[in-house]
Structure formats: structure tokens, C-alpha cells
Amino acid sequence: MKDTIDGIYRFGKDFATLSMVQRYKVYDEKVIRKGKDEYRVWDPKKSKLGAALRMGLKETGLFEGAKVLYLGIASGTTASHISDIVGPRGVIYGVEFSPRSIRDLLYVAKRRPNIMPILSDARMPQQFASRVENVHVLYQDIAQKDQSAIFIRNAETFLKKGGLAMIAIKARSIDVSENPKKIFAQERKKLQEKFDIITELNLGHFEVDHAFFVCKLK
């Protein structure tokens, strides 16, 4: 067990976070107990950030006490691990468009008060801006055709100076028939207009036809 990246622990090839809430599972994740501590193993098949870690992600920009804006938080699988990392002094503003998904998130947010559930459209930051603040990290996982544009807009509005922005891009939701490599190149170009790209990963067999970018605003 080594602390490799801020707040993320390694157990063999698995990654895990130190649970903020004892004896409470968010999804059916594996739990490793060390004395009083509970480490929740990050399932790379259920979380794209988890998959990115397995594919060699080294820098997430997350730290204890960080403020995060999470677009497309869904029912809080990935968010629960981010919640562990940022801890009680950190905060996650979780924006989700689907009432069904956010219904599950409400229960997670009750146990983890650092998650703020916001039912809104990430495409329209005007609708939720008055309920959030500027953040250290932007994380986006939404399967939309214009996901890069949404990402840029939100980063320009809410990302603090020097903050990191992560995005998982699903090629199939941009164009089902185009070659994913071509799509990633085209999205990379869009991102490079506003960002310096720090890391680019392919999520491989964990999430087929997905790319993961870590960027910094220029």
C-alpha cells in the first residue's frame, strides 16, 4: 500500500480511496480493512476516472480540501471516490441532467455532505451558476455531441487559475460511424484552442472507444 497520487492508494494493481464514511458502500465496491481504516477499491469498469488511473493517469489535480465541479455526476459512483479524496473540507458540485440518476445521488449526498446534488443541464451554466463557486478541478463525463464545447464553456466560467480540468470523451456519442481515432484527434484540436493538454489516455478495454484528457487552461 503506497500513497502514489494525492489521496489515492495502491493495492497491487488496484487503486483505492480511504473511505470518508465507515461501513457504507456506494456501489458494490470491494472494501479493504486495515485496522480502523476502510479502503474502497476503485472499480475501473464502473468509473472512467478509475479506468484512467489503471491506464496510467498520474496527475488528477485533486487534493484534500479541493473544490470540484463535476458535470454528469450520475448516481455518484466516481464522485464517491472523489468525495473520499477531497474529504470533509472539500466540496463537489455535482451537476446531472437525469432526474432518475440524481435520485440515487441524493442518498449518497446525505451520507457525504461534501457532495452538492444539482439537477441541471451542463450546457446551460447560467441555470446553476448561482448555486456553485469557482473550483480547483473540473471533471466532466457527459455523453453529448457537443461535450468539448460544454467543457470549455464551464472551464472558462468556473475554473480557478491553475486548476485542472478532466474530460472523458465518448467517441460513439459524437459520431457512431466515424473512426474513434479521428474523433479524438478532432476533439483534441478543439480542446487545444483553449487548453494545454497535460495527459491523454485511451481507456482501453475498461471503456471501449473512450479517451480521457487532463488539461489546464491556457
Burial class (CB in 10 A: 0-12, 13-18, 19+), 46: middle
Contact 93/129 with Cβ under 8 angstroms? no
CB of 119 to other proteins, least distance (A): 4
Contact positions toward other proteins, by CB under 8 A?
Answer: 88-89, 91, 93, 99, 102-103, 106, 109-110, 113-119, 125-126, 129-134, 157-158, 160, 176-177
Contact 142/72 with Cβ under 8 angstroms? yes
| Spatial separation of the C-alpha atoms in residues 31 and 20, rounded to whole Å | 13
- Give me the DSSP letters along 15-42: EEEE-SSTT--SSS--EEEETTEEEEE-
CB of 135 to other proteins, least distance (A): 9
CB of 92 to other proteins, least distance (A): 10
**Residue (127 or 199) nearer to other proteins, CB:** 127
**Residue (20 or 52) nearer to other proteins, CB:** 20
**Residue (127 or 186) nearer to other proteins, CB:** 127
φ, ψ of residue 35 in degrees (nearest 5) = 60, -125
DSSP code at position 211: E
CB of 33 to other proteins, least distance (A): 28
**Residue (51 or 118) nearer to other proteins, CB:** 118
Tell me the CA distances in angstroms from 114 to 32, 84, 134, 218, one per residue in order.
23, 9, 15, 29
**Residue (45 or 131) nearer to other proteins, CB:** 131
CB of 146 to other proteins, least distance (A): 16
